[in-house]
């Protein structure tokens, strides 16, 4: 792979990994707090998986940059400033009620399924192989969130109202899925990654239909002004502080 592509791909992968890390962190906030035991177990597992997937992407980025695969991911996670994270705003929003977290998971999982399908066909084999690995695990995430959306959307008056409120709040942020990742244009031209805009079109059609069938009203809103990955909500710094506080107490500590 060309050097310019290596560098671009490392940035792309760090953004993907940041999405997984931040979503995983939000999911972990349900541990001990989910409405039923099964969902406590489910969200703890989702969190573990997402953070595991983040690690695989960070490691591949480390490889591309000639950095150490063991120490570099920790450096990125624990010692960057909030403004240096490249996750989308959708995943950093506070966990909200359980309808909000479940619906966010569905919106993200459905997009990720399409992206992983495309990445597993990448012309860059190490990327394709890791995407294939993550894809089979993500199948279980989508099965889970897909089961809950209609269950809640068509459930009781309250569950429906909460889901509709969650959708109204999340939908503008979900438009950020259409935005290009760092380095995407060049990498897409080289057949290494898919076009986010292309995936978004498929996602938008499939997801809208699924939500309508789940009794929810999808409003076509204009996207937020700043959906690119360089801008964050006020919620990210608090999350990052929470995530990094132990590591920063003693950066030299060994486990």
User: Under the rule (CB under 8 A), what is the footprint of another protein?
Assistant: 38, 41-42, 44-46, 48-49, 51-53, 55-56, 126, 129-130, 132-134, 136-137, 139-141, 143-144, 147
C-alpha neighbours within 13 Å on the C-beta side of residue 211: 25
Q: Do 223 and 176 form a contact (C-beta atoms < 8 A)?
A: yes
- As a whole number of angstroms, the distance between CA 251 and CA 81 comes to 15
Nearer to another protein, 151 or 248 (CB): 151
d(CA 211, CA 150): 8
Give the nearest distance from C-beta 44 to another protein in angstroms.
8
| Minimum distance, C-beta of residue 243 to another protein, in the bound complex (Å) | 16
In the complex with another protein, the residue whose CB is nearer, 104 or 141, is 141
Distance CA 35, CA 99 (A): 10
CA–CA separation, 237 and 242 (whole Å): 9
At closest approach, how far in Å is the CB of 50 from another protein? 8
Contact criterion met (CB below 8 Å) for 187 and 12 = yes
Closest CA to 5 of 203, 253, 185: 185
Nearer to another protein, 28 or 164 (CB): 28
Nearer to another protein, 45 or 244 (CB): 45
Rounded Cα distance, 193 and 122, in Å: 6
Pick between residue 33 and residue 241 the one whose CB is nearest to another protein: 33
């Amino acid at each position: 792979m060309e050097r310019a592509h290596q560098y671009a791909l490392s940035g792309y992968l760090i953004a993907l990994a940041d999405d997984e890390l931040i979503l995983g962190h939000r999911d972990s906030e349900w541990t001990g707090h989910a409405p039923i035991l099964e969902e406590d177990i489910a969200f703890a597992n989702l969190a573990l998986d997402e953070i595991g997937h983040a690690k695989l992407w960070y490691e591949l980025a480390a490889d591309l940059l000639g950095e150490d695969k063991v120490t570099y991911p920790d450096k990125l996670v624990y010692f960057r400033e909030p403004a240096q994270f490249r996750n989308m705003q959708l995943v950093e929003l506070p966990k909200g009620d359980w309808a909000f977290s479940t619906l966010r998971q569905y919106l993200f999982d459905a997009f990720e399924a399409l992206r992983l399908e495309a990445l597993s066909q990448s012309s860059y084999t190490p990327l394709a192989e890791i995407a294939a690995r993550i894809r089979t695990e993500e199948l279980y995430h989508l099965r889970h969130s897909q089961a809950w959306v209609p269950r809640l959307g068509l459930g009781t008056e309250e569950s429906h109202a909460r889901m509709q409120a969650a959708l109204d709040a999340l939908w503008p942020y979900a438009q950020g899925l259409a935005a290009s990742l760092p380095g995407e244009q060049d990498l897409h031209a080289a057949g290494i990654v898919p076009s986010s805009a292309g995936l978004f079109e498929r996602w938008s059609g499939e997801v809208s239909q699924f939500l309508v069938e789940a009794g929810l009203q999808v409003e076509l809103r204009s996207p937020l002004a700043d959906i690119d990955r360089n801008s964050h909500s006020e919620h990210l710094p608090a999350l990052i502080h929470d995530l990094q506080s132990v590591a920063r107490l003693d950066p030299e500590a060994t486990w």
